[in-house]
């Protein structure tokens, strides 16, 4: 029998019913069920976020996150993924074991019970909005891990335990693994086509440790290239700009002398990062912005304009203070990226 039919049949009898698997953690039983989307908004209530934090069992709902989650599902209906919700059952429930295995069975939850989400309220809110746009997804399902409610303090501790060890993947790693982002995929091709990048880009972290032999981060290179990819609307133009970027970065590798030196091994990578502004993401992005300017204003002779970069003083000195640095430290901001590009343009007589 389908889950939806079981639900409707038992709803009239005062129970919700879902196929479930029973497990044990810390001596306490919990249940994992596959719940159809159409039931998620009906059975789960938010821990009202108008009340004070100390009286809630979860963070305040950030409504700004919901549209992005909705867009993600609606745009990828054949290729999205939502991780499990975690919820507490405050009320009567029963688990009926199957005849073959005691850990598999049917979870019955009284309609008088209160079900509160401890983790995943933004996914729950997004599902509610998705169904308004795509009602045909009503029978899609999401795993829900149910715990028997043990009171507010226990629910608050559950929320803390679920989130304290959660670590977001780095932006570089997200770019590396995001196959839906065409720009990200093109930039991986750029790395293979540019000698100084190949094997020298940190693909997992957004910063480079002192001992690392990497020269640039994927996240900084992604942002730098995106200045050139802006406003592209078709694959042909995307490919053209990708080839242009490969030529551009290879050309820069010949005229930015500290880049040549670190690539050839005459200076070590830690010294490169310590001594030169051109070793940092802010300058990489300003060079991406410079590339966009050159391609738009000097489409036929942009490469000639780069020759003056051989004479630029790239040392971290007072000339870069207030441009890319503040009190001797590299400071990455949109203003500093623009200021750095303008300084390079002045050096080139543009």
pLDDT tens digits for range 11-26: 445 888 889 999 998 8
Instruction: Tell me which DSSP letter residue 200 carries.
Output: T
What angle, rounded to 10 degrees, do the helices at 235-255 and 182-193 form? 40
Q: Is 201 in the same domain as 293?
A: yes
The residue out of 164, 181, 215 marking a domain boundary is 164
DSSP letters for 54-97 = GG-SSPPP-GGGHHHHHHHHHHTTTS---PPEEEEEES-EEEEE
Q: Is 254 in the same domain as 149?
A: no
Stretch among 5-9, 12-16, 104-108, 200-204 having the lowest mean pLDDT: 5-9
Residue closest to 284 by CA, chosen among 272, 268, 296: 272
> Is pLDDT at 126 greater than 50 in this prediction?
yes
What confidence category does residue 142 fall into, taking pLDDT thresholds of 50, 70 and 90?
very high
The residue-averaged pLDDT of 278-293 equals 93
Q: Is 211 in the same domain as 114?
A: no
Q: Is 158 in the same domain as 197?
A: no
C-alpha span between 227 and 290 (Å, rounded): 9
Q: Is 118 in the same domain as 256?
A: no
Helices (H) and strands (E) in the chain, counts: 14, 12
**β 93-97/15-25 pair status:** unpaired
Residue 43 belongs to what domain range?
3-164
Q: Is 238 in the same domain as 338?
A: yes
Residue 23's contacts (CB-CB under 8 Å, 6 or more residues apart) are 29, 30, 31, 32, 103
Q: What is the pTM of this model?
A: 0.65
pLDDT at 144: 93
pLDDT at 45: 61
The residue out of 117, 141, 164 marking a domain boundary is 164
Q: Is 133 in the same domain as 239?
A: no
What confidence category does residue 50 fall into, taking pLDDT thresholds of 50, 70 and 90?
very low
Whether the CB-CB separation of 258 and 276 falls below 8 Å is answered with: yes
Number of folded domains that form the chain: 2
Q: Is 204 in the same domain as 237?
A: yes
What percentage of residues in the chain have a pLDDT greater than 70? 86
Question: What are the pLDDT digits (tens) for 306-333?
Answer: 999 999 999 988 889 888 888 888 888 8
> Is pLDDT at 149 greater than 80 in this prediction?
no
Question: What are the pLDDT digits (tens) for 159-189?
Answer: 666 666 666 778 888 888 777 778 888 988 9
What confidence category does residue 58 fall into, taking pLDDT thresholds of 50, 70 and 90?
low
pLDDT at 55: 40
Q: Is 157 in the same domain as 175?
A: no
Question: What are the pLDDT digits (tens) for 255-273?
Answer: 999 999 999 999 999 999 9
Higher pLDDT, 276 or 61: 276
Three-state DSSP at 110 gives strand
> Is pLDDT at 252 greater than 60 in this prediction?
yes
Question: What are the pLDDT digits (tens) for 182-234?
Answer: 888 898 899 999 999 998 999 888 888 888 889 999 999 999 999 999 888 88
pLDDT at 9: 44
Q: Is 254 in the same domain as 186?
A: yes
Q: Is the dihedral of CA 222, 228, 233, 238 positive or negative?
A: negative
C-alpha span between 312 and 182 (Å, rounded): 34
Stretch among 112-126, 130-144, 151-165, 226-240 having the lowest mean pLDDT: 151-165
> Is pLDDT at 1 greater than 50 in this prediction?
no
List phi, psi (to 5°) of 108: -105, 130
The residue-averaged pLDDT of 57-67 equals 74
Average per-residue pLDDT in the chain?
Answer: 84
The residue out of 134, 164, 194 marking a domain boundary is 164
The residue-averaged pLDDT of 292-316 equals 92
**β 85-90/114-119 pair status:** antiparallel
Q: Is 231 in the same domain as 328?
A: yes
pLDDT at 164: 65
Q: Is 35 in the same domain as 53?
A: yes
Residue closest to 227 by CA, chosen among 338, 333, 303: 338
The residue-averaged pLDDT of 104-120 equals 85
Question: Token match 């000698």: residue?
Answer: 195
């Amino acid at each position: 029998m389908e889950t939806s039919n079981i639900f409707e049949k038992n709803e009239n009898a005062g129970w919700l019913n879902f196929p479930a698997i029973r497990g044990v953690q810390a001596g306490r039983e919990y249940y994992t069920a596959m719940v159809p989307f159409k039931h998620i908004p009906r059975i789960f209530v938010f821990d009202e976020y108008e009340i004070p934090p100390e009286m809630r069992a979860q963070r305040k709902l950030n409504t700004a996150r919901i549209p992005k989650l909705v867009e993600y599902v609606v745009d990828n209906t054949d290729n999205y993924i939502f991780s499990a919700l975690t919820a507490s059952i405050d009320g009567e429930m029963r688990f009926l074991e199957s005849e073959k295995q005691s850990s598999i069975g049917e979870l019955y939850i009284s309609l008088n019970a209160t079900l509160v989400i401890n983790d995943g309220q933004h996914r729950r809110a997004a599902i509610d909005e998705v169904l308004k746009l795509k009602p045909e997804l009503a029978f899609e399902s999401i795993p829900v891990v149910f715990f028997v409610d043990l009171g507010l303090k226990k629910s608050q501790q559950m929320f803390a335990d679920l989130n304290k060890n959660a670590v977001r993947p780095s932006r570089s790693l997200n770019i590396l693994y995001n196959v839906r982002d065409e720009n990200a995929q093109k930039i991986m091709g750029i790395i293979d086509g540019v000698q100084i990048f190949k094997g020298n880009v940190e693909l997992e972290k957004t910063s480079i440790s002192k001992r690392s032999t990497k020269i640039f981060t994927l996240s900084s290179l992604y942002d730098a290239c995106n200045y050139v990819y802006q406003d592209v609307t078709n694959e042909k133009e995307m490919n053209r700009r990708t080839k242009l970027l490969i030529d551009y970065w290879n050309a820069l590798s010949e005229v930015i002398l500290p880049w040549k030196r670190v690539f050839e091994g005459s200076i070590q990578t830690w010294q490169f990062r310590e001594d030169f502004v051109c070793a940092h993401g802010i300058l990489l992005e300003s060079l991406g912005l410079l590339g966009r300017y050159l391609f738009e204003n000097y489409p036929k002779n942009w490469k000639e304009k780069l020759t003056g970069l051989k004479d630029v003083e790239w040392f971290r000195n007072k000339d870069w203070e207030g441009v890319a640095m503040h009190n001797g430290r590299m400071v990455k901001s949109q203003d500093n990226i623009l200021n750095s590009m303008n300084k390079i343009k002045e050096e080139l007589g543009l």
